[in-house]
């Protein structure tokens, strides 16, 4: 593989990482920001109040997006294994 092919494979890998982890991280960011704003507005400084809702919603998001995440990563690894098999 030449340099351009390696760069292309890295771009594909980074895109798959963003597609797989992005929705979960985005939801976690939105929930954390919302809970933080509510805590700042009400002056409630309870650590579990910020942790428990974020944990529950992230787990729910991972459960709902697990099919998409599994399909995306399976397709990527099939692609990689085919590339490795075709190296001569």
Give per-residue burial for 10-34: e unless 16+ CB within 10 Å, then b: eeeeeebeeebeebbeebeeebbee
**pLDDT given at position 67:** 95
Look at residue 87 and give its three-state secondary structure: coil
Q: Is the pLDDT of residue 1 over 80?
A: no
Lowest mean pLDDT among 24-28, 38-42, 66-70: 38-42
For residue 50, name the pLDDT band (cuts at 50, 70, 90).
confident
Structure tokens, 50: 């910020």
Which of the four pLDDT bands, split at 50, 70 and 90, describes residue 12?
very high
Helices (H) and strands (E) counted in the chain, each on its own, are 2, 0
51: Cβ contacts below 8 Å, ≥ 6 apart: none
- pLDDT of the residue at 34: 93
């Amino acid at each position: 593989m030449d340099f351009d092919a390696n760069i292309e494979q890295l771009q594909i890998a980074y895109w798959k990482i963003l597609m797989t982890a992005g929705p979960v991280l985005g939801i976690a960011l939105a929930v954390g920001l919302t809970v933080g704003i509510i805590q700042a507005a009400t002056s409630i400084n309870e650590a579990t109040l910020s942790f428990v809702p974020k944990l529950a919603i992230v787990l729910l998001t991972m459960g709902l997006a697990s099919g998409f995440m599994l399909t995306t990563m399976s397709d990527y690894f099939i692609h990689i294994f085919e590339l490795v098999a075709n190296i001569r």
